[in-house]
Amino acid sequence: MEQSTSDSEVSDRKRVVIIGGGVAGALLAKTIQFDADVTLVDPKEYFEIPWTNLRAMVEPLIAERSVINHSEYLTNGRVIISRAINITETEVLTEEGSPITYDYLVIATGHDDPVPKTKMERLEEHNSENKKIQAANSILIIGGGPTGVELAGEIATDFPDKKVTLVHSGSRLLQFIGPRASTKTLKWLTSKNVEVILEESVTFNTESDGKQVYQLSNGKTIDADCHFLCIGRSTSSSWLKKTILNGSLNTIGKLMVDEYLRVKGRKNIFAIGDITGILEIKQGYLAQRHALLAARNLKMLMTEGDESKMATYKPGSSIAIVSLGRRDAVAQLPFITAIGRMPGLIKSRDLFVGKTRKQLGLEPNPQIAQTTWYKGFCK
Ligand SMILES: Cc1cc2nc3c(=O)[nH]c(=O)nc-3n(C[C@H](O)[C@H](O)[C@H](O)COP(=O)(O)OP(=O)(O)OC[C@H]3O[C@@H](n4cnc5c(N)ncnc54)[C@H](O)[C@@H]3O)c2cc1C
């Protein structure tokens, strides 16, 4: 499906195709839309601020601001709602539709989550997850990475009477950051009556009456009315193995880039965001930094064509903030790990939604129309 968001169909501007409309791809598309003939390829019609997903499960209204149709910020470009499946030296092929010719290509396919195509369907999905939480007395969360921890924090804060159990197969929570953050987070969750079980995995069995039984690897069972699977999101790079970029993937399936964020050995193909093999923590604020640097370098190449004037990228430091409900958070900063209200002030209240919308040229706090999808929502 193609959505044209510009009036002028004929252009002498360079054709830039961006694959992936996530944190990095959306910002890049918005930034260069008046400097190039931009086509954004994404399997869904919207960009969603990924770290608001868990809040949306307890407060679906936030999704009205955090699920943003691509056409809202890309007012002078084309959106192809499809998945890219191949790349040649000159074209991108998608699951649906004809080949898209490019002068410059940008790969920004960080993760490929199984989410619906339309904004309305996505809002309905958040609403039904919210109803599932509301209807349950006991909830099992499987996975102790940022997704599982943030979901446990949201439920424990908004629904303190529900019994929440978090099972994680690793020896500590939040293994992507340091052990001090893990210890502090475990203490915080326990203080909110979340039962945390480490070094166990869960198998699902269904009893004859249809009841779901959750069994731990130690043989014990967990009683829960429902569960949420919060296991790691893998990088969306397997599709690249059948393309001209196969040789540019490293051993963990990330694209190797040079200091200008071009795929190694390629003059006109860039990669940005979590798909890159840059040795740094995978975070959205760094994906945004990649997008802005790639925008600068693309503009330089398209106008002056002088490679020596391109800006170089320096890997970011390991800063990460994991929210714990609406007021608290745990933060790993360069020299300190902090938990509580202070880091919470930075992230947990608005989850950077206003800031991200502003970056995309949108009103940070738009009036939310009373649409039908959240009629059943009450808290
Ligand atoms: C729970 C949680 C909390 C987080 N909190 C923070 C935070 O507070 N701050 C922060 O900076 N970061 C945070 N992050 C990390 C952040 O979300 C990621 O680093 C960021 O989303 C990476 O951006 P990206 O554009 O590279 O990839 P993504 O945002 O994953 O976007 C990839 C896009 O590519 C599309 N795509 C995939 N495959 C294809 C294909 N074949 N063809 C076309 N399109 C495709 C996808 O549909 C998607 O739209 C958090 C992550 C999690 C899980």
Selection from 22, 179, 169 nearest residue 109 by Cα: 22
Q: What is the pLDDT of residues 159-176, one digit of tens each?
A: 999 999 999 999 999 999
Helix (H, G, I), strand (E, B) or coil at 276: strand
Question: Which atom of ligand 1 is closest in space to residue 145's alpha carbon?
Answer: 1
Mean pLDDT within 21-47: 98
Tell me if residue 50 falls in helix, strand or coil: helix
Q: What is the CATH number of the domain that holds 222?
A: 3.50.50.60
Ligand 1 atom closest to 109 (CA): 34
How many domains does the chain fold into? 2
From the CB of 344, is ligand 1 less than 6 Å away?
Answer: no
Residue 379 is predicted with a pLDDT of 37
**Higher per-residue pLDDT: 2 or 265:** 265
pLDDT at 211: 76
Expressed as residue numbers, the domain containing 69 is 2-113+234-315
pLDDT band (50, 70, 90) for residue 5? low
Provide mean pLDDT across the span 335-364. Answer: 95
CA of 34 to the centre of ligand 1 (A): 25
Distance 236 CA to ligand 1 centre (A): 10
**Does 273 contact ligand 1 (Cβ within 6 A)?**
yes
d(CA 334, ligand 1 centre) in Å: 23
Q: How confident is the model at residue 6 (pLDDT cuts 50, 70, 90)?
A: low
Residue nearest to atom 46 of ligand 1 (CA): 112
Task: Record the tokens describing residue 38, joined without a space.
Answer: 């931009």
Q: How far is the CA of 284 from the centre of ligand 1 (A)?
A: 7
In a domain, 360, yes or no: no
CA 216 to chain CA centroid, Å, is 29
Q: What is the Cα–Cα distance from 330 to 338, expressed in whole angstroms? A: 6
Pair (30, 138) in one structural domain: no
Say yes or no to pLDDT of 375 above 50: no
pLDDT mean across residues, the chain: 93
- pLDDT for res 213: 87
Residues forming a β-bridge with 168: 198
Using alpha carbons, list the distances in angstroms from residue 164 to 58, 150, 167, 184: 14, 12, 10, 18
Residues 190 and 328 in one domain: yes
For residue 47, is it within any domain?
yes
Residues 124/125/129/135 CA torsion (nearest 10 deg): 40
For a ligand 1 pocket test, name from 49, 51, 345 the mutation site with the most ligand atoms within 8 angstroms of its C-beta: 51
pLDDT value at 376 more than 90? no
Which ligand 1 atom lies nearest to the CA of residue 54?
Answer: 1
User: Which pLDDT tens digit goes with each residue over 181-195?
Assistant: 999 999 999 999 999
Asked whether residue 9 carries a pLDDT value surpassing 70, the answer given is no
Q: How far is the CA of 13 from the centre of ligand 1 (A)?
A: 29
Last residue of a domain, one of 256, 288, 315: 315
216 falls within a domain: yes
Q: In this structure, are 290 and 332 located in the same domain?
A: no
What tens digit of pLDDT does each residue of 255-300 get?
999 999 999 999 999 999 999 999 999 999 999 999 999 999 999 9
Q: Is the CB of 282 inside a 6 Å radius of any atom of ligand 1?
A: yes
151 lies in the same domain as 210: yes
Are both 221 and 332 inside the same structural domain?
A: yes
- The tokens describing 291, both together, are 């997008």
Please give the average per-residue pLDDT across 321-332, as a whole number.
96
Name the residue with higher pLDDT: 27 or 372: 27
At 52 the pLDDT is 97
Whether 137 and 244 map to the same domain: the answer is no
